Structure 1
Amino acid sequence: MVTLIHTADWQIGRQFEPFGPEDGPILAEARLEVVARIAQLARERDVHAVLVAGDIFDAQGVSDRTIRRLFDALSGYPGPWVLLPGNHDAALAESVWSRAQRLGVIPPHVHLALQPQPLRLPTPGAAVGGLAILPAPLTQRHTFEDLTAWFDGAETPEGWLRIGLAHGAVQGVLPDDIDSPNPIAAGRADSARLDYLALGDWHGTLRVNDRTWYSGTPEPDRFRANDAGNVLEVALPGPGAAPIVTPYRIARHPWIALHERLDVASDADRLAQMLAELPAQAVVQLRLSGRLDLAAHARLQQAVQRAQARVRALRLDSRELQLQPTDADLAALHADGYLGDVIAELRERQSGAEAEIARTALVLLADILREEGGGHP
């Protein structure tokens, strides 16, 4: 039995500016840290090779230090690594790969699949002669021809496993809004007599067919329910036999998107409990809609602030949430007379072009009145 780790879309060097100076650098660092965990897993599982199906780097212009750190992270697994250029790190005439070669940082056990030609990896001790890796490296960011077509006629040694390695969009399988148009025929594994086709570009784990899989990115980087955060262990019994594919959850930071509609006070309390139970390393996008009274909103504010202090990152979008002060709210705030009129006007303006300004003003005014009057939500 020959075993592989299949991974892709590391996006080393990606920056997360929208998360600010506290969380952004930590999320960027996590992309390097997960590579070290992949190396540890490969060593523990004693696999024969690790295949990385493109987009190892997020951009051609990453720093020399980042390049060095990436190759240092591979040292935890001494077996062969095969790195394929993707659309973010295409094998241009001058590229991140040519810089890595000039820096002299590529160790002997790391193979750059920069050319569309078979790469032979012997597998001592296995029942098969070895792995014949058929790579389809991207030499530009976008192409409209199927770079895996040459796999069909590629000659490989008798008794060796035929493994395809590519980065792009399987036709008729993926949504239209993926990162790259680079096409891959849905039946390539069959037409090229592949024992396994390891793919990158789709950031979630996805089975196309028995022999064709996307591993997804090992560390999620967007709010999408596509089962990101895995690597795949691929067990190959022998030439022609169906592979056995096992996902391993390896991500540190789960990305969680929540869209909650709030209509009554108990909805806010339920959401507060949900926020309290989020994993500490979670990256959360919280979108709120509906309407709440001021007291319930104040409790929810506190719950959100506690969650923001506890989880890795929490981004709040409350533009669709309206505040509806009740008589009890106004009494607690002692907001009668002119102040009551101001609150009523702000409440009405939440449905127009100034909705966000009115809602923010209403929250601030309520907070000021509580502080001055000692009121409680």
Structure 2
Amino acid sequence: MHTADLQVGRVYRQFDSVDAPAIAEERIHVVARMAALASERQVDAVLVAGDVFDLQTVPDRVIRQLFGAMAGYVGTWVLIPGNHDAALAESVWTRAQRLNAIPPNVRVMLEPGVVGLPACQTAVLAAPLTQRHTYNDTTEFFDGVETPPGWLRIGLAHGSVEGILAEDIDSANPISSSRCETARLDYLALGDWHGHKRVNHRCSYSGTPEQDRFRGNQPGYCLIVDLQPGVIPTVEAVRVGRYRWHEIEHAVAVDSDIDLLCARLATFARDDIGQVRVSGRSDLAGQRRLLDAMGRAQAEMRSLSWDVSDLRLMPTAEDIASLKADGYLSEVIEELRAAQADGAADADARVAREALTILCGALASSTVGASSGSVGSSTAAAP
């Protein structure tokens, strides 16, 4: 099994105090799921290609939880540090050693070297990062490593394969695109990219096993790699992640556009995390329908945030009539509508949009309160 970028101990500051701990804890749970899968598939070893921890400063409790989650697979684990948890003189790994938290079946490679797996006649050539950023290829030593005749050679590294990123990006921790050939590797297991990516027929990024950002680059998998001497590896991507992250940019021009977004929101469930940005224009009824749909979806999902600041609120004559906004209030609403017109300064349009939303909401509350005989409804329009 090939995995990487567990990022255990990550802190999600963009979420509230209820959602953030649950999302962070899933990074431990996914390790337990992979351990169970490794046991079920009877793999010969689990290779973790760096960034096991998200920070050097994760609490001792998190260190113990990580190694506890590995208990479901009693075979060999081989771990290397990545850029987030580099093997510094004092690091999360030295703390793990002092805590005596690392089980006997877990090999943590804090220096470049080879791990022999005699049972499956395989040599794992490990290239840990001993500092956060380096501009030398840490896998270069693979070329000169001798292994027993007939044994499989697997490289384990963390970094960026040269030639994949845009030419103007100066990426740290480079890895030669020809390393499989020059080092005679049967497979090169990589970490650093958080999405599953096949570099060539003998080299892959596994991606993070639990999605951690709004990017659709195939996160949430681990790889089951079947290796035979002289044969191109068979690589199976197995989904192990729980949460699915959705980033939605939605433009509203007509009522049916709101219907489409409401229908999509209704498909999400408790294992979905969403971020929605809505632009365009809507009448008051459409805005109410949209906000109601987002509120209901938020109650069903793990987390949902939305931004409707770029949705221009353009009340119709029917909206204004339903709000019983006549005289001065009607004039104010019309002025705020006009302030959102195309060509208006962004800041002015945004202020007008927010003011119109507040005013219409206050008027709607006042109208509903008055019709139901609610005490204090006259103060609802105070803003």
User: Normalized against structure 2, the TM-score is what?
Assistant: 0.92
Alpha-carbon deviations, 1:271-310, whole Å to 9, x = none? 1111001232111111111111111011101001111111
Q: Which amino acid aligns with 1:90?
A: A
Q: Is the 8 A contact 2:115 2:125 kept in 1?
A: yes
From the superposition, tell whether residues 149 and 99 of structure 1 become closer, same or farther in structure 2 (CA, over 3 Å).
Answer: same
Q: Deviations over 1:96-123 (max 9, x none)?
A: 1111011111111000011111111122
Report what 1:135 is aligned to.
126
**Deviation of residue 368 (structure 1)?**
1.8
Q: Would you say the 8 A contact 2:279–2:308 is kept in 1?
A: yes
Residue of structure 2 aligned with 1:286, choices 249, 270, 276: 276
Matches within 5 A, 1:129-208: 130-174=121-165, 181-208=172-199
Letter in 2 for 1:248: V
Q: Which residue of 2 aligns with 1:370?
A: 364
Give 2:66's aligned residue. Answer: 70
C-alpha distance in 1, partners of 2:301/2:25?
17
CA distance in 1, matches of 2:203, 2:187: 6
- SS of the residue corresponding to residue 25 of structure 2 reads helix
| Aligned length, in residue pairs | 366
Q: Indicate the residue corresponding to 1:307 in structure 2.
A: 297
Equivalent pair of 1:333/1:369 in contact (CA under 8 Å): yes
Tell me which structure has the larger Cα radius of gyration. Answer: 2
Look up the match of 1:11.
7
Give the equivalent residue in structure 2 for 1:346: 336
Show structure 1 runs of 5+ residues with no match.
none
> In terms of mean alpha carbon deviation, does 323-332 or 174-183 score higher?
174-183
Which residues in structure 2 correspond to 1:113-124 (within 5 Å)?
Answer: 113-123=109-119
Check 1:178–1:66 CA distance in 2 against 1; reply closer, same or farther (3 A cut): farther
Give the partner amino acid of 1:75.
A
Query: Which residue in the other structure is 1:221 paired with?
Result: 212
Instruction: Render the CA deviation track for 1:302-359: whole Å, top value 9, x for unaligned.
Output: 0011111111111212232211111121111111211112212222334431433332
| Mapping of residues 229-308 of structure 1, within 5 Å | 229-237=220-228, 239-308=229-298
**Aligned in 2, Cα 1:329/1:228: closer, same or farther, shift over 3 Å?**
same
> Residue 178 and residue 249 in structure 1: after superposition, are their counterparts in 2 closer, same or farther (change >3 A)?
farther
Residue of structure 1 in register with 2:319 after alignment: 329
Q: What RMSD over aligned residues (CA atoms) do the two structures have, in Å?
A: 1.7
Q: Contact 2:309–2:354 (CA<8 Å) still a contact in 1?
A: no
Residue aligned with 2:297, SS: helix
Q: Which residue of 2 aligns with 1:98?
A: 94
The letter for the 1-side match of 2:314 is Q
Q: Percent identity?
A: 55
Q: State the match for 1:209 in structure 2.
A: 200
* One-letter code aligned to 1:300: L
Question: Deviation digits for residues 135-162 of structure 1, max 9, x if unmatched?
Answer: 1110000000100011111111111110
Distance 2:3 2:88 in 1: 22
1:176/1:142 CA distance change after superposition, 3 Å: farther
Q: Which moved more, 1:347-356 or 1:73-82?
A: 347-356
- SS of the equivalent of 1:118 reads strand
**Which one has more relative contact order, counting CA pairs under 8 Å at least 6 apart?**
1
